[in-house]
Amino acid sequence: MKAHTVVQVEEVADGGVVAHVDRLPGRRLACGECGRPASKVATTRRPARRWQDLALREQPLWLVYAPHRVWCPTCGLRVERVPWAEKWQRVTHALGRAVATLARKLDWTSVAAHFRLNWKTVASVVEAAVLWGLAHRRWLPLHVIGIDEVSRRKGQQYLTLVYDLARRRVVWVGKDRDEGTLQRFFAWLGPRCARAIRVVCCDMWRPYLAVVRAAVPAATVVFDRFHVTQYATEAVDTVRRQMWRQLAEAEKADFKRTRFLWLKNPANLRRDERTRLSGLLRLNAPIVKAYLLKEDLRRFWDYRSTAWAADHLRQWLWRASHSRLEPFKKLAKTIRTHRDGILAWTKLRVTNGALEGMNNKVKAISHRAFGFRTTWTYMANIYHCCAGLPLP
């Protein structure tokens, strides 16, 4: 503090420490609006204000100061800018940075309890840090992006996430999940930055694909193994449920509690689970055919040669289309429609696995906070924890 000094320190009844601050005579003060040195200092002052600072020997510390009115050649009569805190904030820069740092690891209620602050104060500090970080983050060209969504709350309320796959960080968060949301992202990005995008990894949702192909027609759209495998797993589960409804009571004993045997990766099964699955595969049942189709599709991702992968996919599509299993016939139709994007994976090896991990982190943020009151608060927390923003 070049223009201010502590003139008195006292302990209060609740165990805290109060430091009274005053202006050093003859020092110029800064304008609270533009930050430039003021030409004059008015004789009147504003009422004394309190700012909470980092604890002093585990005791709360407050700074108390009555700001001066100053005359700025540009802005006119304004209240001075204090060097230890932002405008309208009631915590110091040091405490604000500590709060913002800890808020990346803990929920805001725990942060508020740790620093003896109100929850709204923590929210205000973090949101201010996010806005500052978005304005000052180092911008690097986007070459490979991923697009996915995360549930905001029950009732089909989603947030759309766009992230940089190369650096594994969130780039943009938008409200809702529709064409307009993704159009807002590309409008924010601008055509010049959009031209740098070479690969877009997303799911097979038509509105996303339409916007991506219109905004970045030169980019390659890749459908990664996670989503395709997920669709195959859902098809197996649908066949299992359909078969279960058609079985007689005496026949259901063999298939009780086998759902995860059909859905899990065989490499993740325990020895007893593998033994039971081996016995089930000898049965002549629709679920066996569905399981074998799922595992055969999984082998597609092991191919390094695009030509061999294309041949394997062609044979799989024929078998699925003639399997007499409606869920797999529907899946084959979907894969045939998006065949080029699936085959592109064999060349580029781009996966949305990083985003799925990021989505799990985003969900953990919401779970540890037991939800958020507003959409913006949730979005701010995602930016704060997942976007790699600098702190003020």
The 10s digit of each residue's pLDDT in 306-364 is 999 999 999 999 999 999 999 999 999 999 999 999 998 888 877 666 667 777 888 88
- Please give the average per-residue pLDDT across 196-224, as a whole number: 89
Q: Say whether pLDDT at 148 is over 90.
A: no
The DSSP H or E segment spanning 163 is strand 157-164
Q: Which of 379, 370, 382 is nearest to 119 (CA)?
A: 370
**pLDDT value, residue 155:** 62
Give the contacts of 34 (CB within 8 A, at least 6 positions apart). 72, 74, 75
Of the listed ranges 95-99, 204-208, 380-384, the least confidently predicted one is 204-208
Q: Beta strands 76-81 and 144-153: pairing type? A: unpaired
**% of the chain beyond a pLDDT of 90:** 58
Q: Which of 241, 288, 291, 282 is nearest to 263 (CA)?
A: 291
What Cα–Cα distance (Å) separates residue 45 from each residue in 37, 98, 221, 274?
Answer: 17, 30, 62, 79
Q: Say whether pLDDT at 373 is over 80.
A: no
Residue type, 16: G
Helix (H, G, I), strand (E, B) or coil at 245: helix
What Cα–Cα distance (Å) separates residue 91 from each residue in 64, 109, 174?
Answer: 11, 17, 30
Mean of pLDDT over the chain? 90
What's the helix, strand, coil split of the chain in %, to 5? 50, 20, 30
The 10s digit of each residue's pLDDT in 20-76 is 999 898 888 999 888 888 888 887 788 999 999 999 888 899 999 999 999 888 898
The 10s digit of each residue's pLDDT in 82-117 is 999 998 889 999 999 999 999 999 999 999 999 999
**DSSP string for 282-309:** TS--HHHHHHHHHHHHHGGGG---HHHH
Helix (H, G, I), strand (E, B) or coil at 137: coil
**pLDDT value, residue 88:** 84
- Please give the average per-residue pLDDT across 118-127, as a whole number: 93
Q: Say what the pTM is.
A: 0.83
Give the contacts of 136 (CB within 8 A, at least 6 positions apart). 390, 392
More confidently predicted of 163 and 319: 319
pLDDT category of residue 156 using cuts at 50, 70 and 90: low
Torsion sign across C-alpha atoms 114, 119, 124, 130: positive
Q: Rounded to an integer, what distance in angstroms lies between the CA atom of residue 235 and that of residue 330?
A: 9
Torsion sign across C-alpha atoms 364, 365, 366, 367: positive
Give the contacts of 373 (CB within 8 A, at least 6 positions apart). none
- For the record, the structure tokens of 261 come out as 């045997």
Q: Rounded to an integer, what distance in angstroms lies between the CA atom of residue 154 and that of residue 152?
A: 7
Q: Rounded to an integer, what distance in angstroms lies between the CA atom of residue 264 and that of residue 7?
A: 69
- Asked whether 61 and 82 are in contact (CB, 8 A), the reply is no
Q: Which of 370, 383, 228, 385 is nearest to 297 (CA)?
A: 228
Please report, for the chain, how many H helices and E strands are present, in that order. Answer: 15, 13
What Cα–Cα distance (Å) separates residue 228 from each residue in 224, 301, 342?
Answer: 7, 10, 8
